[in-house]
Amino acid sequence: MDFFLKSKSMRVRVAALIQDSKGKILLVQQQKKKSGYWLLPGGGIEFGESGEEALKRELKEELSLEVSHTEFLLLNESIDPNKKRHLIQIVFLTKVRELLPVLNAKEKAISGFGYFSPKEILSMDLRPDIKHYFRAKNTNKPRYISSPWVNEP
């Protein structure tokens, strides 16, 4: 009963790790308040929708990308230290038919995109912060990653 009395928020998000021919990874930029940060493209899973269905829908809606193949890569979990918000991110290694996204004009949250090397990503404001995944030598095997919560300034 205590669960229903507290204001809590859990979000389940799917994300795509899309690489170009040089191994660079597609990230999208979002603007929140006065700062911008980067994240893997994707979005929330709707009730009754599978992770793969949600990923295909989000990539089509936001970036006009058509998914040709997905493979589970990692599960990332990030919890607010105050225990008020909880994010679970399911990341799929994703192949798309065309590598060049086209931003949807109606999508106000995304302000840009780019392909970046894992080395470049290490110095970026990436959310959730899964940069240690890109430092690892073996990034092919599925894994669970816990990442620290990033508070808005």
- Which residue is catalytic, options 49, 107, 120, 152? 107
Counting every residue written for the chain, the total comes to 153
Distance between CA atoms of residues 51 and 94, nearest Å: 12
String of b and e for 74-90 (b: at least 16 CB within 10 Å)?
Answer: bebebbeeeeebebbbb
Contact call for residues 56 and 69 (beta carbons, < 8 A): no
Q: Is 107 a catalytic residue?
A: yes
Active-site residue list: 107
